[in-house]
Amino acid sequence: MQRIGLGYDVHAFAEGRRLVIGGVDIPFDKGLDGHSDADVLVHAVMDALVGALRAGDIGKLFPDTDPAYKGADSIKLLEQVGELVRGEGWRIVDIDTVLMIQEPKMAPHREQMRANIAAALQIPVENVGVKATTTEWLGYEGRGEGVTAQAVTLLEK
């Protein structure tokens, strides 16, 4: 049996925060706003995995009303999602992602993002895709107001 999961996340930029995407601390003058570290890419991956399990969404697993997740490292949360997937008897076949971000450029960080996600989920790095695109200055991403991430995953049992 196979299942597909789709994940989507958005975070606004905020002053005085670290920019963490794909578990990489990226030098930039602002970070993403959120209850945890606001790692938009990892959140989309988690949502795709939880969706494929038909287990709701990450808000159900890690509610932003719970102080335990304040400032949480999203890679650590992703490890927990990976344990959940394996615990339910599923294998992660593949993950593909895309970031919609005008700046900063993601290309210098792409391979480390792939490696971080793969390590957290205990899967080969070849099974994780990370892409980024600008929005040609259109929309909130183009105006530098925030970042969007989408992820799709394939599970097999």
| Residues 20-73: tens digit of each pLDDT | 999 999 999 999 999 999 999 999 999 999 999 999 999 999 988 888 898 899
pLDDT, position 31: 97
Side chain identity, residue 151: A
pLDDT at 92: 98
Residue 97, both tokens: 């992602």
Distances (CA, A) of 55 to 5, 36, 61, 139: 11, 21, 9, 31
- Rounded CA-CA distance 157/143 in Å is 42
Q: What pTM was estimated for this model as a whole?
A: 0.96
Which tens digits make up the pLDDT trace of 111-146?
999 999 999 999 999 999 999 999 999 999 999 999
Place of tokens 């009303």: 65
